[in-house]
Amino acid sequence: MHVVITGAGRGIGRALAEWYRAEQDEVTGTARDGSETVRMDVTDPDGPAALARHLQGRAVDLLVCNAGVYLDKGQDLDTGYPDAMWADSFAVNVTGVFRTIQVLLPNLRASAQGRIAIISSQMASQNRAPGGSYIYRASKAAVLNLGRNLAVDLKPQGIAVGIYHPGWVQTDMGGSAADITVDDAAQGLKARFAALDMAHTGCFETWDGRDHPF
Ligand SMILES: NC(=O)c1ccc[n+]([C@@H]2O[C@H](COP(=O)([O-])OP(=O)(O)OC[C@H]3O[C@@H](n4cnc5c(N)ncnc54)[C@H](OP(=O)(O)O)[C@@H]3O)[C@@H](O)[C@H]2O)c1
């Protein structure tokens, strides 16, 4: 199996890449510092295009859109959430995901069973809405919506799309007080991706296999 993982240089993405490689799957990982197969910043206009050039003519069986930022932690409702923070967050968490998927559609179509996994968050949920972190929540809700609509458009082509909450994970983003380790998250997500088929396309699931409320 050939797996493409964005943001594979650290955190959840790195753990996923390690687990797939340990099982002899082929992984094309991306990182901004050149530490992975392809150097890519998803906000760079040529970033996803460079990834597509690197993979030209090669089937991709699973694309994991994992790269993400959480820039508005602790922002103040009255004085915070500047415009640039909205733009920067959406450029990575939404536009970057869309562009990566768009440029790799030929590669996904070339697989017998192309699948797309989008790492969103429980913070995307409309039902579970405790307030705060408006930018991150809005961006993760947007990418959940994007995944749900892609699932419909790509269904006739046999490409399944799943959207996932990876858990509250001990990474640079999640912090050391988070609930689970990167290995717990990666192993759980890997099982969810393996279960992703056309019957489950459009799902919003947690790392440990529960349906997440929209
Ligand atoms: N940790 C949690 O508790 C948690 C909870 C819910 C959802 N998530 C989601 O899970 C995903 C992974 O999070 P994480 O905890 O592993 O975060 P992390 O440790 O902060 O790592 C973030 C990853 O995203 C990449 N990235 C950031 N901006 C990028 C850009 N402009 N272009 C390309 N790559 C970029 C980083 O690459 P560089 O190394 O190049 O910076 C890094 O690999 C994110 O989508 C996050 O929103 C995490």
Q: What is the pLDDT of residues 141-159, one digit of tens each?
A: 999 999 999 999 999 999 9
pLDDT of 64 reads 98
Q: What is the whole-number distance in angstroms between the Cα of residue 105 and the centre of ligand 1?
A: 22
Q: How many residues does the chain have?
A: 214
Over range 189-198, report the average pLDDT.
98
Could you give the CA distance from residue 126 to residue 116 in angstroms, rounded to a whole number? 23
Give exposure, 20-52, as e/b (b: 16+ Cβ within 10 Å): beeeeeebbbbbbeeebbbbbbbbeeebbebbb
pLDDT above 70 as % of the chain:
100
**What atom of ligand 1 comes closest to residue 123's alpha carbon?**
6
Name the CA radius of gyration of the chain, rounded: 16
Q: Which of 20, 70, 134, 136 is catalytic?
A: 136
What's the pLDDT tens digit per position in 49-76? 999 999 999 999 999 999 999 999 999 9
Question: Alpha helix locations (H) across 23-164?
Answer: 47-54, 83-90, 96-109, 134-154
pLDDT of 192 reads 98
Residue 45 pLDDT exceeds 90: no
Q: Name the residue with the closest Cα to ligand 1, atom 1.
A: 174
Q: Name the residue with the closest Cα to ligand 1, atom 16.
A: 11
Q: 95 with 34: CB under 8 angstroms?
A: no
Candidate from 5, 12, 137 with most ligand 1 atoms within 8 A of CB, to mutate: 12
Nearest CA-CA partner of 28 in 11, 47, 45, 4: 4
Question: Alpha helix locations (H) across 59-133?
Answer: 83-90, 96-109
Q: Domain coordinates of the chain in residue numbers?
A: 2-206
What's the pLDDT tens digit per position in 87-128? 999 999 999 999 999 999 999 999 999 999 999 999 999 999
First to last CA, the chain: 30
pLDDT of 116 reads 98
pTM: 0.98
Q: What is the whole-number distance in angstroms between the Cα of residue 144 and the centre of ligand 1?
A: 16
Nearest CA-CA partner of 192 in 160, 169, 149: 160
- Assess whether the C-beta atom of 177 lies below 6 angstroms from ligand 1: no
Tell me the CATH architecture of domain 2-206: 3-Layer(aba) Sandwich (3.40)
